[in-house]
Amino acid sequence: MSYDPNSLVGVPEHGQERIRRARQAEQRGFFTSDLTVNEFLLVKQAGFDPLGLVVGSSIYHIGYQQSNWNQNQEMGVLTQAMYHARELAMTRMEEEADQLGADGVVGVRLDVGRYEWGENLAEFIAIGTAVKHHEGQLHRAPNGRPFTSDLSGQDFWTLLSSGYRPVGMVMGNCVYHVAHQGLRNFFKQIGQNQEMPNYTQALYDARELAMERMEAEADQLQAEGIVGVQLQERSHGWGSHVIEFFAVGTAIVPVRADHEIQQPTMVVTLND
């Protein structure tokens, strides 16, 4: 999906109304955010002001793909669907942030929900707090979009004070069909202690593909690295043999050469 900072396509009427109001409120210095008090203060200390809560969502119909009963293979159609839907949600959230004049979005949560009323439907939703720098320093990603990160306010503060900044959330996924065991193999292993190379290979490959795709995204953002990678393994109601691996993390770039942090001291909390 191409990115248009002035676009509000896909945002419902009430959403547009909310954004309009948030923009007016912004002039008064009013904001909404899901940051905790600690996070709020740390984000401010890092030089940013929260502007408002931004949301992007997409309800997506996931197509059907026939799998080979006895073959390990990637389910391209499903991989594509799961990726595209997440991208739509993220892009809509970024566009909302742009409408508020934000530099980026912190504390992004990316969830997949399924409903009873739609068997092949899934809701993809991205929520975060839009922030803007006090002195108008540009903090965007190289592709012009506002930066996104799933880091907490505390992590955001620590990262900035050590000479790095987030450029964007990067993700990769892979939906994989794990082959059923053939009859011949079944007889071969009856009563035997042995590794299952077929299954091991399937899960290994799927995980590697998801990670590789995430790394490719970070490469595109010219990032130095990715922190806080989460690797999720879920079967979104496709039956037990079809599994999605999803890798997501925050890509970071250095803003200065030295990344020395103050020598930490060890403390003992007297709280229980």
Partner 1 sequence: MPLFHRRTDEERQRDEEQRRFQDQAQRDQQQSVASLEAGGLPVAATRRLQEVSSRQRLFTSDLSVDEFLLVKAAGFHPITQVTGSSIYHVGWQRLPGQSVWYRQSEELEVVTRAWNEVRGRALGRLRQEAALAGADAVVGVRVTFQRYDWGHDLIEFNLVGTAIRSISGPHFEEPVLSSLSGQEFWELYQAGYMPAGIVGGSSVFYMAATPQTQWSQSWFGSVFNQELQDFTLGLRVAQHRASTRAYDESRRLGATGIVGMRIEQEQAEYETEINEGQKVTDMIFSAHTLGTAIAQVADRPVPATTPVVVLRK
For the chain, give the longest Cα–Cα distance.
74
Out of 219, 234, 236, 237, name the contact with partner 1 by CB under 8 A.
219
Out of 55, 228, 242, 255, name the contact with partner 1 by CB under 8 A.
228
Cβ distance to partner 1 smaller for residue 130 or 159: 159
Out of 167, 211, 244, 246, name the contact with partner 1 by CB under 8 A.
211
**Nearest distance from residue 30's CB to partner 1, in Å?**
25
Cβ distance to partner 1 smaller for residue 190 or 257: 190
CA 19 to chain centre: 23
The CA distance from 10 to 46, in Å, is: 33
Q: Using the rule CB under 8 A, is 66 a contact of partner 1?
A: no
Cβ distance to partner 1 smaller for residue 22 or 75: 75
Cβ distance to partner 1 smaller for residue 78 or 178: 178
61: three-class secondary structure by DSSP? strand
**Nearest distance from residue 200's CB to partner 1, in Å?**
5
How many amino acids of this chain bind partner 1 (CB under 8 A)?
61
Task: Kindly list the distances between the CA atom of residue 36 and the CA atoms of 46, 54, 131, 164, 208, in Å, as whole numbers in the listed order.
Answer: 15, 16, 14, 23, 35
**Nearest distance from residue 194's CB to partner 1, in Å?**
5
Residues in Cβ contact with 254 at an 8 Å cutoff, skipping those fewer than 6 apart: 163, 164, 224
Tokens 């202690």 belong to 193
**Nearest distance from residue 153's CB to partner 1, in Å?**
11
The CA distance from 212 to 218, in Å, is: 10
Render 41-97 in DSSP notation, one character per residue: HHHHHTTEEEEEEEEEEEEEE-------TT--EE-HHHHHHHHHHHHHHHHHHHHHH
Q: Using the rule CB under 8 A, is 69 a contact of partner 1?
A: no
Out of 24, 38, 70, 137, name the contact with partner 1 by CB under 8 A.
38
Give the footprint of partner 1 on this chain (CB under 8 A).
38, 72-73, 151, 155-156, 158-159, 162, 178, 180-181, 189-201, 203-205, 207-209, 211-212, 214-215, 218-219, 223-231, 240-241, 249, 259-261, 263-271
